[in-house]
Amino acid sequence: LDPEEFRRQGHMMVDFLADYFQNIEKYPVRSQVEPGYLKKILPDSAPYKPEPIEKILEDVERDIFPGLTHWQSPNFFAYFPCTSSTAGIVGEMLSAGLNVVGFSWIASPAATELESIVMDWLGKMMNLPKTYLFSGGHGGGGVIQGTTCEAMLCTIVAAREQMLEKVGRENIEKLVVYASDQTHSSFEKAVKISGIKLENFRIIPTTKDTEFALDPKSLSRTIEQDIKSGFIPLFMCATIGTTSTTVVDPLKLLCEITKDYGIWVHVDAAYAGGACICPEFQHFLDGIENANSFSFNAHKWLFSNLDCCCLWVKDPSALTNALSTRPEYLRNKATDTEQVVDYKDWQLSLSRRFRALKLWLVLRSYGIDNLRNFIRSHVKMAKHFEQLVSIDERFEIVAPRNFSMVCFRVSPLALGNKQVNKFNMELLESINSCGNIHMTHALVGGVYMIRFAIAAPLTEYKHIDMAWEVICNHANAMLDVN
């Protein structure tokens, strides 16, 4: 590593990315390439001799850019956002440059201590109960992991070990976990990996009557039935802001039920958690005092660049009992005194990135006030889009808007005897193929809907208006032609 060459290439890369952000709107938002496109262009093997960065960057623009879906484009309204920011990128750069591996406190004390501090800062910003914070005096605390799926897996395994200690290992086949049919598929993956029998995963159906939220009565009935049949209720995942339509499960009521059975409750707010730094959204977390763990992705809606999943647990010892290892080669005085956090015991892997740096930079560079205003501006833009849809009688809103995502479709009334789902599916494909904007869909209760998720960092009102124009133009063309 030659510091001067790093300086030269680093500056070049910053310029390259600044130009990319400046010109991002000229690229089709969703990549238009066919599968296997890159193999046709790139050589079969790595170069034997070094190649200059200038040439590589030219190839990035020529060969890689066409295969990118531009998540940071102001016209990206698909999935949930993955918000970057200047502080988030610069923070990633700092962490990549330092490249420390803070698996235990001694391996880089600042990496561990900064992580504990920013997790407390963030917990306070979201008004989490003190029981989740290091500074709360109840033994709780937070950790930064890569993804929600990892956070879910770690918490299920923690709950599993805690329960098996109580009921005996031979009863592992009796453990049951609960979620709704709107819970993210990463929960199913976590359940599969955790060794819980998949037949013991109760997916509770939701209905339009409860706006597709997990119904406490259905949960209660299912648990009662399981107990009668000799099963052991272990874990429930509640969601604040489901992926399909941003539904919020009634956490308070759900926790009142699970409390009686000693069920571990994990609260997944992967996207919507970002909004909970604003006091007006914090009521969605009512009841969290009776849950066991809570996670959200700061890389989704808190400007912190992938990856940054923040997980808080009330009882970290449940995590460490399940996940800790003590190989001799990692033995050190600090660990032996048990006065320090060794984050390797709070997660799946041993090695870990210094993710806290970028979160620290984001929180400090913008401050709580600005971060709240960014979130609010996205919500305001979503309200504006919702209004545009509502006043056009050919369209309808198909799910209540809770945050910065609007679910809509061309309404059956405008379509006469055409198949509604098929029409909307074709409309979405037609829009995505043109490359001006990008949206994705959901299918809930048999209704195919188009999701319009706002939070890309460069999006302004003019992009919302332009997007609506694109949607109307495609709908007009299809309504006339078909």
Residues that bind ligand PLP (CB under 6 A): 80, 147-149, 184, 186, 239, 242-243, 268, 270-271, 297, 309
**Plot region of 336 (φ>0 → left; ψ -120 to 50 → alpha; else → beta):** alpha
Who contacts 107 (Cβ-Cβ below 8 Å, separation ≥6)? 100, 101
Of 206 and 297, nearer to ligand PLP (C-beta) is 297
Helices vs. strands in the chain: H and E counts, helices first = 16, 11
Of 186 and 305, nearer to ligand PLP (C-beta) is 186
CA distance linking residue 310 with residue 329, whole number of Å? 29
Shortest distance in whole angstroms from residue 245 CB to ligand PLP: 11
Bridge partners, 450 (sequence order) = 408, 441
Shortest distance in whole angstroms from residue 152 CB to ligand PLP: 8
CA distance linking residue 242 with residue 14, whole number of Å? 36
Q: What is the DSSP annotation of 230-289? A: T-EEEEEEEEBS-TTT--B--HHHHHHHHHTTT-EEEEE-TTGGGGGGSGGGGGGGTTGG
Shortest distance in whole angstroms from residue 271 CB to ligand PLP: 5
CA distance linking residue 267 with residue 292, whole number of Å? 8
Of 62 and 192, nearer to ligand PLP (C-beta) is 192
Shortest distance in whole angstroms from residue 241 CB to ligand PLP: 6
- Burial class of residue 327 (count of CB atoms within 10 Å of its CB; 0-12, 13-18, 19+): exposed
Q: How many CB atoms lie within 10 A of CB 218?
A: 17
Sign of CA dihedral 80, 86, 89, 95: negative
The two three-digit tokens of residue 268, written as one number: 């997944």
Of 438 and 474, nearer to ligand PLP (C-beta) is 438
Bridge partners, 421 (sequence order) = none
Shortest distance in whole angstroms from residue 151 CB to ligand PLP: 8
Shortest distance in whole angstroms from residue 240 CB to ligand PLP: 8
Shortest distance in whole angstroms from residue 209 CB to ligand PLP: 22
Is cis: bond before 307, omega within 30 of 0?
Answer: yes
Q: What is the DSSP annotation of 186-235? A: HHHHHHHHHT--GGGEEEE---GGGTTPPPHHHHHHHHHHHHHTT-EEEE
Name the DSSP letter for residue 287.
T
The two three-digit tokens of residue 434, written as one number: 């043109």
CA distance linking residue 69 with residue 66, whole number of Å? 8
Of 271 and 312, nearer to ligand PLP (C-beta) is 271
Residue found under tokens 């440059």 = 97
Of 174 and 266, nearer to ligand PLP (C-beta) is 266
The two three-digit tokens of residue 481, written as one number: 């032609």
Of 272 and 319, nearer to ligand PLP (C-beta) is 272
Whether 393 and 472 have beta carbons less than 8 Å apart is answered as no
Who contacts 235 (Cβ-Cβ below 8 Å, separation ≥6)? 155, 156, 159, 160, 175, 177, 178, 196, 263, 264, 265, 266
Shortest distance in whole angstroms from residue 242 CB to ligand PLP: 6
Shortest distance in whole angstroms from residue 453 CB to ligand PLP: 10
Helix (H) or strand (E) holding 461: helix 461-481
Of 27 and 403, nearer to ligand PLP (C-beta) is 403
Of 164 and 306, nearer to ligand PLP (C-beta) is 306
Of 135 and 440, nearer to ligand PLP (C-beta) is 440
Shortest distance in whole angstroms from residue 311 CB to ligand PLP: 11
Shortest distance in whole angstroms from residue 310 CB to ligand PLP: 11
Shortest distance in whole angstroms from residue 150 CB to ligand PLP: 7
**Plot region of 182 (φ>0 → left; ψ -120 to 50 → alpha; else → beta):** alpha
Of 244 and 432, nearer to ligand PLP (C-beta) is 244
Of 82 and 464, nearer to ligand PLP (C-beta) is 82
